[in-house]
Structure 1
Amino acid sequence: MHTHLKSIGIKNVEDIKRYSLRQEGERDILKIYFKKSGREFLARSSKFKFQRQQKRVSGGYKGDNFTNMSEINPTLRSIIGELDALAISANREKEVKEQLLDDLRHLEIVVSNKIKDMEEKIAQL
């Protein structure tokens, strides 16, 4: 899994924090930011440049007008797909964790209220 990320030298996909993508001329610049360890002052990042794919497309059905266009590199598209999949799974884990913590807090309130009720009943006896 994550074969495209590994092909550009990303060994530990678990360390990826986020990424950014921008276009400079005929190149797309992908910057991947990694989680920093306890000893590091600044977060690490890696920058990758991909040449945009050139295409010649027809301008319409009426004439022989052709236009040169560029689009994202297919390899980069695959890498972004893998990065997005990592982000989605990280968000799901975070959502599950938050839901479990909310359930735990609610359980604490319920148990605390039940204990108070039982103590009041004992005091009345």
Structure 2
Amino acid sequence: MYQHLTGLGINEPTQIERYSLRQEAQKDVLKIYFKKQKGELFAKSVKFKYPRQVKSVLLDDGSGQYRNKTEVNRNLTLLIDELNTLTKPIKPSELDTKQKILSDLRHLEKVVSSKIAEIEADIEKLQ
């Protein structure tokens, strides 16, 4: 049923709890997390790297210039489809998004005020 996941060597796809996807340079990194088994301290996870596909795209009709554009590997999109059916990702609500933005803003305020204090201390050392 999950032919792409079994093709990766995942024999029990039902044990998948969640996954994450990020981009590093010219590669997409898929990390699959499994349900924690009894007696395990940490849940098991596996990581797979997929090179991004490069395509040449025409910039505008008059100049004839092309630009390289990268996109997600087709095999990875098929895997993500299978993972989505297994994990049923929850879409964040607007309230969750608002809370995250406010939390990020508060963190940014702390970082900026800390940096300002550091720069002011450096200025005091110069005088």
- 2:106 matched to which residue of 1? none
1:76-102 CA distance string (max 9 Å, x none): 0000000011123x98xxxxxxxxxxx
What is the aligned length? 90
Instruction: Flag structure 2 segments of 5+ consecutive residues without an equivalent.
Output: 91-127
Alpha-carbon distance between aligned partners in 2 of 1:10 and 1:63, rounded to the nearest angstrom: 49
The 3-state SS of whatever aligns with 1:54 is strand
**Is it true that 1:61 corresponds to 2:57 in the alignment?**
no
Letter aligned with residue 10 of structure 1: I
Provide the residue aligned with 1:41 in structure 2. Answer: 41
Distance 2:5 2:63 in 1: 43
Superposed counterparts of 1:7-46, under 5 Å: 7-46=7-46
1:71 paired to 2:53: no
Structure 1: segments with no counterpart, 5+ residues = 92-125
> Over aligned residues, Cα RMSD in angstroms?
1.4
> Aligned residue for 2:6?
6
Aligned-pair CA distance for 1:62: 2.0
Give the conservation status (yes or no) of the 8 Å contact 2:16–2:87.
Answer: no
Post-superposition Cα deviations, 1:60-87, rounded to whole Å, max 9, x if no partner, equal 2222110001100000000000001112
Structure 1 outlier segments of 4+, above 2 Å: none
Amino acid at match of 2:52: R
Comparing 44-53 and 58-67, the one that deviates more: 58-67
Report which stretch shifted further, 62-71 or 17-26. 62-71
Distance 1:11 1:82 in 2: 14
Task: Find the structure with the greater CA-based Rg.
Answer: 1
